[in-house]
Amino acid sequence: MAYLGAAYLWVKAAHVIFVIFLMAGLFMMPRFFVYHQETTPGSPEDKSWIARETRLLKIILNPSLVLTWLFGLMLMVEIGAWHFGWFHLKLLFVLGLSGYHGWIAGYTKKLARGQRPLTDRQLRMLNEVPGIAAAVIVIAVIVKPF
């Protein structure tokens, strides 16, 4: 433990906590989208879904993403993770999840404008992305296959 010292385990715990919050939001939002798309744009129900999605994005998803990255980068520096193959795989999938978060933010805005570019089936398929990514990340970090 180089610079974090006794705080290392606290930083690691915080990283895992905010990853859990982030993943919960990444699983929840596409389900919101499926239900939201069934509403008529401009209706009271549509406005309720817009409010729910905005709160989830601003209160849980955005802060969790930032804090996950902050604590993760601290851990990366602490253990010199850049030198490990497993870390490169993890980083690739974390970047993918960060992009997925960006897509979620963008789709939230589209729904708020009354646009419905994807089908319910497509949204349900996209809902599998965070689960697959999480499985790969956990295997990379725990098993360290390379």
pTM attached to this predicted model: 0.94
- CA 20 – CA 34 distance, rounded (Å): 22
Q: Work out the angle at residue 97's Cα, subtended by the Cα atoms of residues 91 and 99, and round it to the nearest 5 degrees.
A: 105
Write out pLDDT tens, residues 79-115.
Answer: 999 999 999 999 999 999 999 999 999 999 999 999 9
* Tokens 């850049």 sit on residue: 82
Q: Do residues 45 and 142 make contact, with C-beta atoms less than 8 angstroms apart? A: no
Domain layout of the chain by residue ranges: 5-143
- For the chain, the first-to-last Cα distance in angstroms comes to 22
Which whole-number Å values give the CA distances from 6 to 2, 10, 48, 68, in the listed order? Answer: 10, 8, 45, 19
What's the rounded Cα separation, in Å, for the pair 94 and 103?
A: 14
- What pLDDT, in 10s, does the model give residues 39-60? 999 999 999 999 999 999 999 9
Confirm or deny that 144 is annotated as ligand binding.
no
- C-beta of residue 33 within 8 angstroms of C-beta of residue 57: no
Is there a binding annotation on residue 109? no
